[in-house]
Structure 1
Amino acid sequence: MIRLTRARRAAGATLLIGAVLVLVGAADALSSTLAERVEPGAGAWRTWVLSSGSQFRLPPPPDAGATRTEVERLREMATVRDAETLDRIGWWDAAAPSYRWNQIAVDESLKAGLNANVASRRLALLHTALADAMIAAWDSKYAHNRPRPAGADPTLQTAIATPPSPSYPDEHAVAGAVAAAVLGEVFPQRAAEFARLAEEAGRTRLLAGVAFPSDVAAGAELGRQVAAAALERGRRDRSDQPWTGGVPTGPGLWTGTPIVPQAATWTPWLLASPAEFRPPPPSAHDSPERAAEMAELRAFQRTPRTNADALFWEAAVGGRRNFEYWNGHLGRLLLEHGQAANAPRVARAYALLNAAFYDAGVACWDAKYTYWSIRPSQLDPEFRTVFPTISHPSFPSAHACYSTASATVLGHLFPRDAAALAALSREAGESRIWAGIHYRSDVTGGQQLAERVAGRAIERARADGAERAAP
């Protein structure tokens, strides 16, 4: 009896130890799952237009019975996955929604031949709306914590990996509704195509088996609410106001047909006003300082290499492509740093970059059309430039403004790459001297102005709640 009791005790101890190990393993698995959740605190990040991430918090998702019905619908949809469907699923799932919608918006801007002022205004409007949309989506996701379809029914076969975030609402549907509304307003002739793409983005999540139909429907409704708030702000930014001024005349003043002079009055995202960081006036046209700068331009020894580099920064990534260039760097960096699938963080990065880019342009145009500084080839008609001078005043350099603001913000978001990005922005500024279309003070003035604009974006980034949980 004693031996039997001891045997039972030994067996019981073995079972107890085994149970403890199982529980420990389960706890480890749970801890791992919790650690892998995507940005559970993102719903509390600072918003751009909304009062908070909870402003449009969704009601609870459908109950267990309705969820089972939805699982069966997803199972039926999975039977029609063909090669083309899988290709579209993969295209939308390659990165977070803001990445793909940035590509779509940039392509539309290039096709329309938009200059940096107009394109950046549209991109900033889109990406601040998408950032708010992801914050709002994450607020509802973690308020309700609805499991993904494969979590509700592990036998469901998905076409892609199940995202490590709650299912409701679907972030691609949220982003699609925002992008379709914003892009449809600024490119009205393409509104139907944007609506088609938004619908496709949501439908691919159903076909992939990673979202419920009610997730997509709720996401689209949330996206429409965010878009309405964003568009209301956009309609008040003065971008629809015509320019009513005139080109001043007098010694040392720029002359010509100004490019988008009204951009100097548009409402910034980060600055209190276009003039908040207005630099002091440049040197007078007949001053010793200006004579020395003109002498520097005349003395510069142009080579095929410097001419090619100047043309690269003008034609390949210049005023009608610079927004593509710096957004392209952001997309690359998100992929290289393993952040491309993190929807709230990707949306935040695009919003910070494009808001700073746009504000740098507004501040730059404010200074240009305050001082009307004469261009080198106007001050000395005998001086030859590498290519024709752009039709707006000389001070400050727009290339220096846009490139420095972009590189500085990206350098903050990706410190490992900050030095390389800063070198690119410096080359962009120097290229204007190599081309002979700017004075040295135009470039340094633009860089200093842009650093202050970028500094405002970085201040916001440090205080928006995201850097407390940075990956």
Structure 2
Amino acid sequence: MRLAGIIDIPTLLVYSNVLFIDVPLKGFPEINSIAQNTSFMQRKSPILVAMLLLAAQLFAQVEPTAGNWKTWFIPSGQTYRLPAPPAYKDEIAQVLSLQQKLDAADRQQIMHWNAGAPGYHWQHLMGKLWMNDASYNGALANMLLNVAIYDATIVAWDTKYAHNRPRPFVADKRIKALILNPQSPSYPCEHSVAAGVATTIIAHFYPALADSVQRMAQRMMASRIAAGVVFPSDTRAGFELGKKIAEKEIKHTKDFTNKKVWDGKMPTQAGLWKGKYAVLPLAGLNKTVVLDSSSQFRPGPPPDFAKDMEELKKYKPSFSSIANAFHFASESVWEDLLEKKIFENNLHLNPPRAARIYAIAAVGIYDGFTACWDAKYTYWGTRPDQYDTTFQPVLIHTPPFPGYPSGHAAIGGVMGELYAYFFPAESAFFRQRAKDGAESRFQGGIHFRTDNEVGLELGRKVGAMIIQKVRADGADNLLMGQN
């Protein structure tokens, strides 16, 4: 058994080395069982009693104070607190009826939508959309999806613990919880909150998908009701809340994307990057979230790349270096790694904390990308195969935008710092992963080493500034063990 998905009860007892319970903790059979069967020395300890009571409380409730965490683009969670829910007596029959009619397809939908945190599936969809979006809105759409899900989740948690509505399987024993019991009040449904945000933002940026995401949301909400964990009114309230917050945050960020039109002019000086077209040349003019501006950490101009070119031409690719180059060039390395770590740390069972992590990471990608593109189109740094036209990169095709600094290195620098903050026990691994990603661009022959070193340093500065901001959001605590 784990406390808020982080600390397990037996470990707590080992640390205390004492155990005393005079009266069983009502409603917490797991703790009582441990207390009755433990072989630890038993003696009265007021400190341990307090610790066990805290453990019981944390196990029973997921982040009960998350409604007080600071939000990004709305004033606070309390600002949009929902009114009290209606009586659920009449809805019990609806839940029972759905459960009685379940077939194999319905059960598959329950398991599908229960996988991961509430925003998990929407993250995957947005990842496919924005990474193939050649417009200036792609990075904004990804950032806004994650930030709005987090902000709306904080509103939901404020509302949940203001009204404390029981889950259906608690309210009526005839209703079965067909998934792991969520340890938070029922109203509003957190999965529906995420769906309300996602459908609104995806429809706004990708209108051709509006009908499809609405149908996905309807299937998801039906699955939560059939699972016995929410009432129909919980899903309706959650969905409308998510829509409301998304609409407000779309409006809040309407001027984030630069509206200027590029004149198509490229520098003509020798030694600078040239191409038939340039990808997102004005992205560096976008408004940032945490940085004061995209140029706040702008590096100095690139050097002459003569020594870098000499090093690259002398480099002998190996099987492992080629594999590393193609791996970072073709996979969503940082997104996949984050999802893995969220699952490994059981944070998918903790919707506010998972949403917070996704939001911070998305802000890091957005600000890191904007800062990198500011530098790229300030200096128009050339690529190796343009500096020396006899050079053939391992990756064959070089990206259609300037090379200095490396975007992979810059985003890796941001992510390495943020992930080290999220999961401090593995900080060395994440920072090494950032170096591996930067090195992959040298190994692929599409960046000079200077591009990578400068990109990593830029990313680290962006990551450090974001961490400085989020440390004050109220979510850090002793249980998280932040560094």
1:201 aligns with 2:220: yes
Shift in CA distance, 88/390, structure 1 to aligned 2, threshold 3 Å: same
1:185 aligns with 2:193: no
Distance 2:383 2:24 in 1: 73
Distance 1:116 1:297 in 2: 33
Alignment match, 1:261: 281
Alignment match, 2:375: 367
- Kindly indicate whether the alpha-carbon contact (under 8 Å) linking 1:117 and 1:361 is maintained by their aligned counterparts in 2: no
1:424 positional shift: 2.1
Counterpart code for 2:58: A
Superposition pairs for residues 416-431 of structure 1, below 5 Å? 416-431=425-440
Number of residue equivalences: 434
Provide the alpha-carbon RMSD of the alignment: 2.2
Identity among equivalent pairs (%) = 35
Q: 1:442 aligns with which of 417, 440, 451?
A: 451
Alignment match, 1:379: 387
Counterpart code for 2:317: R
Distance 1:107 1:281 in 2: 34
Alignment match, 2:471: 462
TM-score w.r.t. the length of structure 2 is 0.85
Distance 1:326 1:120 in 2: 15
Q: 1:302 aligns with which of 317, 329, 352?
A: 317
The structure richer in helix per residue is 1
Distance 1:437 1:94 in 2: 38
Alignment match, 1:15: none
Distance 2:416 2:288 in 1: 19
Distance 1:235 1:254 in 2: 32
- Kindly indicate whether the alpha-carbon contact (under 8 Å) linking 1:134 and 1:344 is maintained by their aligned counterparts in 2: yes
1:305 positional shift: 3.6
Q: Which runs of 5+ in 2 are unaligned?
A: 1-20, 32-52
Alignment match, 2:239: 220
1:311 aligns with 2:331: no
Alignment match, 1:342: 350
Superposition pairs for residues 209-248 of structure 1, below 5 Å? 209-244=228-263, 246-248=265-267
Shift in CA distance, 143/402, structure 1 to aligned 2, threshold 3 Å: same
Q: 1:104 aligns with which of 117, 125, 133?
A: 125
1:41 aligns with 2:65: yes
- Kindly indicate whether the alpha-carbon contact (under 8 Å) linking 1:56 and 1:225 is maintained by their aligned counterparts in 2: no
Shift in CA distance, 365/383, structure 1 to aligned 2, threshold 3 Å: same
Q: Once structures 1 and 2 are overlaid, which stretch shifts more, 272-281 or 30-39?
A: 30-39
1:371 positional shift: 1.0
Shift in CA distance, 231/470, structure 1 to aligned 2, threshold 3 Å: farther
1:26 positional shift: 2.4
1:156 aligns with 2:175: yes
Q: Between Structure 1 and Structure 2, whose CA radius of gyration is higher? A: 1
Superposition pairs for residues 56-75 of structure 1, below 5 Å? 56-62=80-86, 66-75=87-96
Q: 1:333 aligns with which of 341, 350, 373?
A: 341
| Partner SS state of residue 272, structure 2 | coil
Alignment match, 1:92: 113
Distance 1:146 1:79 in 2: 24
Superposition pairs for residues 108-187 of structure 1, below 5 Å? 108-109=129-130, 113-114=132-133, 119-187=138-206
1:306 positional shift: 2.5
| Partner SS state of residue 261, structure 1 | coil
Q: 1:397 aligns with which of 374, 390, 406?
A: 406
Shift in CA distance, 215/22, structure 1 to aligned 2, threshold 3 Å: farther
Q: Which runs of 5+ in 1 are unaligned?
A: 1-20, 318-323
TM-score w.r.t. the length of structure 1 is 0.87
Shift in CA distance, 71/458, structure 1 to aligned 2, threshold 3 Å: same
Distance 2:118 2:239 in 1: 13
1:134 positional shift: 0.7
- Kindly indicate whether the alpha-carbon contact (under 8 Å) linking 1:374 and 1:394 is maintained by their aligned counterparts in 2: yes
- Kindly indicate whether the alpha-carbon contact (under 8 Å) linking 1:409 and 1:458 is maintained by their aligned counterparts in 2: yes
Counterpart code for 1:191: A
